[in-house]
A and B are shown apart, each in its own frame.
Chain A
């Protein structure tokens, strides 16, 4: 059978099986329904925002968006070009590796089909990102919705080119042994861009002005991929010109060229994509909760041995284990790259805050944003990872100690990070010591609240399918049940006393009370947990 026919048949079966699965387990529709509501609300917001001209558009909105897009495009393309000299991207699954690759099929045709399929899939899939950013973009600038398809293509084009380009760079690099030369070329281009931006900043005499000028320079729009995509993207803001159509055509042509060239040069690529395919499979397993997410680690900090002394026995072994893991993958068991990033963020926000005499507002905004992000995104953590392994159920000891022990390292690390952020902010703004202490407690209370409530998920939704399918719903419930008491208290305090600090203190106290209740109930909840 022809390869294309074979692969089309396989994908047809897969689509049909997805529908069958939904029919057998209609609960799955809940998640699709939630996504639809989300997208619907975004589209509704966009349409409503467009009809309502009373928006406050920033004077520099279009420039900010143009510079943001160019900066994002440069970072993305250069990262993936460099990444391509070390590791290929993949268009395959481990099922392909074990069933399709050993079969008598043409590797070239399999590659072509898989690349085209992924491109088509991503064309629609990545649309969520631009829809999610639409409300923010509409606040920044007036968007002509007539040209929204062009804006969409400009953004998606940038993302679609990554996979084929990365693969092509890897194949060419390994086939002709020119990885080092490509790396040097990318490094040289990066240096040129940095010099250019530095020159623009110096000539403008201001960091923000310089960056806006540098990244919005007209010549940038003629640069391959990044410039073309930017020109197409900005059509909805700056208006249509003939170049918009030319850039769109060039962008499309570039993607086609990458795919065709990959098809031409790749004949023995099976080993090249193996690592990336295995990693993708691992990521999938992590999403399903059977593996822990890889920590953000420095390549030079990987150590095979970590001399971490144990403190205590029984449940405290989880505290020891997490310290060993962090010792091997980061600078220190309690301090890491994130601490430096928080410190830098604090310095940057503090510097600009003090420059514009914004008082303590930047400190409150930074801490509020981080508390929100931490609560939403710290779903995968040490305790959840431990719950997927048998040891937490088998090792004797109280469940309260087990929960504390398995989360302690993460809490200490996060405390150091938040401390680094607030100390730098506090020095630069400047802020009194008691404000810094309250803000650290405020953010950490959200983090611990999430950590100490996650094991409830397993009790409320013991079925693995339920956990996966109803996760967004559970997250909403979690937010309502755990965040609302604190927010109401904070709101009342802010209303009565008109004091943000007091409001944060109130929220922290309520959060600590809820954490205490959750920990007190841990024995009862833990008894209902099952290891799956």
Chain B
């Protein structure tokens, strides 16, 4: 589904993403982890096409990720949600429905807003929303087109506990529907029982790319060992 091959992204002299490669197959739910400044957001933004790659290739179902064909197959939730200040919540969903050519979107949009308890806010302007509410709208916008690939950059920042639980449920549903999901997050417990695969980045490189089970077995299959422990173990400085 998503193939990242020898991707490099530089900002002037700083190498933010350094020659990374990975592939996500249909139905994969992968966590993209790493300390601050590891290059996670840059990787996702380069896949989305917001940043230009310096080297390598990113393809989605065989098409270059910046092509129109590829863009029909994925949606993206940015780290800091920025909406159109003067559009209402409902108009945002309408806009996305028209942009992704989603037919009969009303019922689905209504269901999504109700799941995130945003139905009553549907006529509010984006500029009147709190940061958490904006994040909810951003997630709803990404779920509405129902693409094959979802790219989430810190989706749970600013969400209330109920919305975090709802988002986790949605991730499970996406997994059941064989959708591919890449989630970059620092909230490790939120994806611990969800991700089948973990990619750990450090200083622009992928230092770990393995199945969650494999990772746990390497650490002795101890039930007391959490993803947080594994993460701290692999990212600690030499």
Binding site for B on A (CB under 8 A): 1, 6, 9-10, 13-14, 17-18, 21, 93-95, 97-106, 268, 270-271, 274, 281
CA distance A18 to B68 in the complex (A): 32
Given A10-B95, A93-B84, A95-B85, also A104-B138 (CB < 8 A): no
Q: Is the CB of B66 within 8 A of A99?
A: no
Question: What are the residues of chain B within 8 A of A21 when measuring CB–CB?
Answer: 86, 125
Task: Determine if B49 and A102 form an interchain contact, defined as CB atoms under 8 angstroms apart.
Answer: yes
Q: Are B87 and A13 in contact (CB under 8 A)?
A: yes
Given contacts A17-B86, A105-B71, 4 further A-B contacts (CB under 8 A): A95-B82, A97-B82, A268-B52, A274-B50
> Could you pull out 11 A-B pairs where Cβ atoms are within 8 angstroms?
A6-B95, A10-B84, A21-B86, A93-B84, A99-B141, A104-B68, A104-B72, A104-B99, A270-B51, A271-B51, A271-B52
Alpha-carbon gap, A268 to B49, bound state (A): 8
Nearest first, the 3 A-B pairs at minimum CB distance are: A94-B82, A95-B84, A104-B71
Residues of A within 8 A of B78 (CB): 98
| Residues in A neighbouring B74, C-beta threshold 8 A | 102
B92 to chain A: closest residue by CB = A99
Contact of B96 among A9, A99, A271 (CB under 8 A): A99
For the complex, give the distance between the alpha carbons of A91 and B75 in Å.
23
In the complex, what residue of chain B is closest to A13 when comparing beta carbons?
Answer: B91
Q: Are A105 and B82 in contact (CB-based, < 8 A)?
A: no
Q: Does B48 contact A (CB under 8 A)?
A: yes
Within the complex, the shortest CB–CB distance from A531 to chain B, in Å, comes to 16
B50 with A271: CB separation less than 8 A: yes
Give the docked Cα–Cα distance between A425 and B105 (Å): 71
Asked whether B22 is an interface residue with its Cβ less than 8 Å from the other chain, the reply is no
Secondary structure dominating the interface of A: helix
Interface hub of B72, B74, B81, B82 (most chain A Cβ within 10 A): B82
Distance, CA A308 to CA B83, complexed state (A): 40
Q: Report B109 CB to chain A, min CB distance, Å.
A: 15
**Nearest A residue (CB) for B50:** A270
- The winner among A1, A14, A93, A103 for most chain B CB atoms within 10 A is A103
In the complex the two chains form, what is the Cα distance from A95 to B86 in whole Å? 10
The listed residue (A1, A14, A97, A281) touching B99 by CB distance below 8 A is A1
B88 within 8 A of A: yes
In the bound complex, residues from chain A placing their C-beta under 8 Å from that of B101 are 1
With A102-B50, A271-B52 as contacts: A6 and B82 at CB distance below 8 Å: no
A270-B49 CB under 8 A given contacts A1-B98, A9-B98, A103-B71: yes
Residue of A nearest to B73 (CB): A104
Chain B contacts with A in 41-81, Cβ cutoff 8 A: 48-52, 66, 68-69, 71-72, 74-76, 78, 81
Name A105's contact: one of B85, B99, B125 (CB within 8 Å): B99
A94 to B101, CA, bound (A): 22
Which residues from A are CB-within-8-Å of B100?
103-104
Q: Count A-B contacts at CB 8 Å.
A: 91
Whose C-beta in chain A lies nearest to the C-beta of B79? A98
Docked complex Cα distance between A101 and B65 (Å): 12
Q: Report A-chain residues with C-beta under 8 Å of the C-beta of B98.
A: 1, 6, 9
Give bound CA distance, A334 to B51, whole Å.
40
Q: Tell me the smallest distance from the CB of B71 to a CB of chain A, in Å.
A: 4
Pair B66/A268 contact, Cβ less than 8 Å: yes
Q: When chains A and B are docked, how far (Å) is the Cα of A100 from the Cα of B72?
A: 12
CA A208 – CA B84 in complex, angstroms?
50
A95 close to B76 (CB less than 8 A): no
- A18 near B86 (CB under 8 angstroms)? yes
B48 x A102 contact (CB < 8 A): yes
With both beta carbons as reference points, the residue of chain B lying nearest to A95 in the complex is identified as B84
A105→B141 CA distance, assembly (Å) = 16
Q: Does B50 lie within 8 Å of A99, measured CB to CB?
A: no
By a CB distance below 8 angstroms, the chain A residues around B83 are 95, 98-99
A17 to B47, CA, bound (A): 34
Which residues from A are CB-within-8-Å of B91?
A: 10, 13, 17
Please tell me if the beta carbons of A14 and B50 are within 8 angstroms of each other in the complex. Answer: no
Interface centre among A6, A9, A98, A270 (most CB of B within 10 A): A98
Task: Output the least CB separation between A13 and chain B (Å).
Answer: 5
Query: Counting chain A CB atoms within 10 Å of each CB, which of B48, B72, B95 scores highest?
Result: B95
CA distance A105 to B138 in the complex (A): 18
Q: Which residue of chain A is the closest to B151 with respect to CB atoms?
A: A102
Which residues of chain B come closer than 8 Å to A101, judged between CB atoms?
48-50
Of all chain A residues, which has the CB nearest B65?
Answer: A102
Contacts of B92 in A (CB 8 A): 99
Q: Determine the chain A residues whose CB is within 8 A of the CB of B126 once the complex forms.
A: 95
Report the bound CA distance from A283 to B192 in whole Å.
40
Give the complex CA separation of A281 and B81 in angstroms: 13
CA distance A101 to B78 in the complex (A): 12
By a CB distance below 8 angstroms, the chain B residues around A1 are 98-99, 101
Task: Output the residue of A17, A97, A270, A274 with the most chain B CB within 10 A.
Answer: A17
Q: Do A99 and B71 touch across chains, with their CB atoms under 8 A apart?
A: no
The answer to whether A103 and B99 touch across the interface, beta carbons within 8 angstroms, is yes
Partner of B84, one of A99, A274, A281: A99
Q: Give Cα distance in the complex from A268 to B54, angstroms.
A: 13
Which of A14, A99, A102, A104 has a CB less than 8 Å from the CB of B86? A14
Distance (whole angstroms) from the CB of B43 to the closest CB of chain A: 14
Q: How far is the CB of B90 from chain A (nearest CB, A)?
A: 10
Q: How far is the CB of B111 from chain A (nearest CB, A)?
A: 20
Cα distance A103–B73 in the bound complex, in angstroms: 10
Across-interface contacts of B81 in A (CB, < 8 A): 98
Q: Is B88's CB under 8 angstroms from A17's CB?
A: yes
- CB <8 Å contact, A10 and B49: no
| Interface contact B125-A17, CB-CB below 8 Å | yes
CA distance in complex: A102, B68 (Å): 9
Q: Chain B residues with Cβ under 8 A from A103's Cβ?
A: 71, 96, 99-100
A6: chain B residues within 8 A (beta carbon): 95, 98-99
A273 smallest CB distance to B (angstroms)? 10
Residues from chain A with a CB closer than 8 A to the CB of B82 are 93-95, 97-98, 281
For A106, the chain B residues whose CB sits under 8 A away are 68
Given A99-B96, A281-B82; A17-B68 close (CB under 8 Å):
no
Q: What chain A residues lie within 8 Å of B99 (beta carbons)? A: 1, 6, 99-100, 103-105
B52 touches A17 (CB 8 A): no
Q: Which residues of B contact A14 (CB under 8 A)?
A: 84, 86-87
Q: Are B50 and A97 in contact (CB under 8 A)?
A: yes
